[in-house]
Structure 1
């Protein structure tokens, strides 16, 4: 199974750190955020990675290189303009092949064990969900007996962690360009084609300086 790290975000809320540094190379605990993913994926047995990038993306290629020093092979999918999550993955499909693949947002930090996702996929998507963080109290989806459905007001919900396994068929009918992943997931949910799991370990969406400080604190505690 291949894995894709989504690294095309501009990170505007992390300015001035991201004025001259792409968001995935912002450091926590003395190491770029994206390097935590590369090392964790390698440890979990993923040795073929795809990384998309846009804003200052050449810096990411210069830093990670071909992946050899991490024990992996990295292919890059550069985007002249950010294509959003769905469009970025769709553009990279020729590099990902015909089998299901893991995808992880480059701007999260987590101790999730990616090896848990190295198993057959019976649906079009499998999502890792987390408890709703303070900055996203309404959540995204519902999880019921292993099946994921859209969130309903007034009912318990969970937040999409930015970690999933996707079947290339999820993108059937898509056209090149910028588009979001969520509508494709909701279409698959309506067809009963999305499974999920709840992760209760450490997870931070590193979108602000305050949340970057949360990662620094967790690392200092030996997470």
Structure 2
């Protein structure tokens, strides 16, 4: 699943008429970079949610055939936040664990590892596997601690930043009401406290494309072939 329902307030005015995942860097929309990497890892069935200017996403990507995938769209009348959007899309995602990526980040991670991690998730065992990255300048305090055994904790030091890429079991969202906004972090912290969240550190390229300045920086790097 690719999360693409955010309003992109920090990206205004660029997002006044274009949904943030369709903003371009390196000559192609941010969301297309994800789709190509997902397809390369063997993902051909994708779910994409949308709210703000969602029709523009559907017009641009259609059913995904031009990109070698099949896209099922999960529209939201108003953005349901991260966990709420995933919960709303569960009927499209099926009953097996799945991989989710934020549509407004750029990452050169190999989705094959997340695909393998998803297969190890269980309703009564590990519920999530997260990709963590070094703390960027705009988020120096980080989010979670990764221990040497690959388990992620809500507390403790040193902390890394959640990349927005993860694998989840549907059971993580079982107690959420549909069509109700809900954030992902509280669900993850609860599962962490129960010892049900694992993860890994990604030391490669990652950027939270949250401002016009960071988008321009990424575009320059990709144009120079540094992506």
Q: TM-score range by the shorter chain?
A: over 0.9
Q: TM-score under structure 1 normalisation? A: 0.95
Equivalent position of 2:59 in the other structure: 62
Separation in 2, partners of 1:201, 1:142? 18
Equivalent position of 2:31 in the other structure: 34
Could you tell me which of 177, 202, 211 is aligned with 1:199?
A: 202
Equivalent position of 1:12 in the other structure: 9
Separation in 2, partners of 1:214, 1:90? 34
Q: How many residues align?
A: 218
Alignment of 1:115-130 (within 5 A): 115-119=112-116, 120-122=119-121, 123-130=126-133
Partner SS, residue 14 of structure 2: coil
Separation in 1, partners of 2:63, 2:18? 20
Separation in 2, partners of 1:91, 1:172? 11
Unaligned segments of structure 1, at least 5 residues: none
More displaced 10-residue stretch of structure 1: 92-101 or 143-152? 143-152
2:115–2:167 contact (8 Å) kept in structure 1: no
Equivalent position of 1:185 in the other structure: 188
Q: TM-score under structure 2 normalisation? A: 0.94
Could you tell me which of 150, 154, 161 is aligned with 2:154?
A: 150
1:139–1:158 contact (8 Å) kept in structure 2: yes
Equivalent position of 1:172 in the other structure: 174
* Superposition misfits of 4+ residues, deviation over 2 angstroms: none
User: RMSD between aligned alpha carbons?
Assistant: 0.9
Could you tell me which of 94, 99, 105 is aligned with 1:97?
A: 94
Q: CA deviation at 1:209?
A: 1.3
Equivalent position of 1:214 in the other structure: 217
Q: CA deviation at 1:174?
A: 1.2
Q: CA deviation at 1:218?
A: 2.1
Unaligned segments of structure 2, at least 5 residues: none
Is 1:133 the counterpart of 2:136? The answer is: yes
Separation in 1, partners of 2:208, 2:185? 17
1:139–1:151 contact (8 Å) kept in structure 2: no
